Amino acid sequence: MSAGTTLAAELAQAARIVSGVAAGKSLAEQFGDYQSDAQTSRAALIDLTHSTLRRYGRVQAIVRQLSARGRADERVEALLWCALYAIESGRYREHTVVDQAVKACTVLEQWSAKGYVNALLRRFLRERSAIETAVAPDETAMHQHPRWWIDAVRNTYPDRWQACLAAGNSHPPMCLRVNRRRSDVQGYETELARHGMSARRCGNDALLLDRPVPVDRLPGFAAGHVSVQDLGAQRAAHLLAAAPRQRVLDACAGPGGKSAHILELADVALTALDIDPARAARISPGLDRLGLRAEVRVGDAAQSSQWWDGEAFDRILADVPCSASGIARRHPDVKWLRRAQDPTSFAGRQLAIVSELWRLLAPGGRLLYSTCSVFAEENERVVESFVGAAPLARRLALADGQPAQWLPSAEHDGFYYALIEKSA
């Protein structure tokens, strides 16, 4: 806790946010509306909310095991989940968390819940080993994902499903993409070391930091020498392999990371498209920082009549909307907000987008299909369905020799890529 903040206030605010997620609101939406004050630290709130949500089923199972009275008020339930994380995190003294959680009931105007919260948390401290044993058979508690999600990953990746789920509960790595136009990987690695930061090279333009740092601490960030981008996301520009003077479309481009990487690698005429005006508005400032330019348009990739000028593209990146199941550790509310039917629903939208974009691709051109999902319904099945129905479509091997599907790991998030060529 920083000077002026209290854990009680932070637990109360975290409980409001987590209960909002349980009610269907995203973390981004709630943090976008959040106004910082003297009583709460934004960094502490991010830790309390995100880490609690990464424990999805575990904290719920523990509360169910401890509570004899059934579900409490939604904010009280969420307060207990956040307090359990705080206890297990080791960041605070255990009895301090209990005391501050009780005080948080007053902040939440849940005065009658004080005794309940106090008794439940103290019982957890007394009986932790027995409680751990009791919840161990619960797969949702063990793997901290919804049951349908566990089943889907296990069925698709029978040899890797446990590692995939475990990675989805971890803290994400911080990977940098060095801007080739303003620096080089070896030189920037040396510059990091000069500033007391260690990293290792893990891709063509990538450095993986040993410890995450705020972006304003990165040397040369404001001058456009480097960007933060996951290693899995960095595959896109290299697999698309756009050549100088080609017309390139980055569909669903916001906030612009992949567009920037494409432009760093080649002098192309790039159109960056996004359906969301707010996401589209973030593209140009990011490119300006890097010394790059693109034509930014707002429009639906599945409705090209809204924005297309009629001239075909040589390369198209179809980074389609998806379940975000491959980046759930960065957005842990996804595990709460997604439903079992969502991957199939996304697949319908994805196929519609690819089918429309295919019309805009020049003969001999290439379309790179991309998602940040691990669900086969959104990935391999969409590509197989499209290629099977499009006479001129031919799927190509990926130039890096890597599999189409990357599952989340210690180095990168979960991404899927498929390269499709239109016969001339």
Residues 6+ apart with CB under 8 A from 414: 164, 167, 168, 232, 325, 326, 327, 372, 373, 374, 405, 406, 407, 408
**In the block, residue with structure tokens 């960065």:** 330
As a three-state string, the secondary structure of the chain is: CCCCCCHHHHHHHHHHHHHHHHCCCCHHHHHHHCCCECCECHHHHHHHHHHHHHCHHHHHHHHHHHCCCCCCCHHHHHHHHHHHHHHHHCCCCHHHHHHHHHHHHHHCCCHHHHHHHHHHHHHHHHCHHHHHHHHCCCHHHHHCCCHHHHHHHHHHCCCCHHHHHHHHCCCCCCEEEECCCCCCHHHHHHHHHHCCCCEEECCCCEEEECCCCCHHHCCCCCCCCEEECCHHHHHHHHHHCCCCCCEEEEECCCCCHHHHHHHHHCCCEEEEEECCHHHHHCHHHHHHHHCCCCEEEECCCCCHHHCCCCCCEEEEEEECCCCCHHHCCCCCCHHHHCCCCHHHHHHHHHHHHHHHHHHCEEEEEEEEEEECCCCHHHCHHHHHHHHHHCCCEEEECCCCCCCCEECCCCCCCCEEEEEEEECC
Rounded distance between C-alpha atoms, residue 62 and residue 52, angstroms: 13
Q: Are strands 361-371 and 415-422 parallel, antiparallel or unpaired?
A: antiparallel
**Are the C-beta atoms of residues 423 and 366 closer than 8 Å to each other?**
no
Q: Which of 82, 105, 252, 372 is catalytic?
A: 372
Q: Is 202 a catalytic residue?
A: no
Q: Which of 378, 380, 300 is nearest to 346 (CA)?
A: 378
Q: Are strands 313-319 and 361-371 parallel, antiparallel or unpaired?
A: parallel
**Are the C-beta atoms of residues 113 and 69 closer than 8 Å to each other?**
no
Catalytic annotation, residues: 372
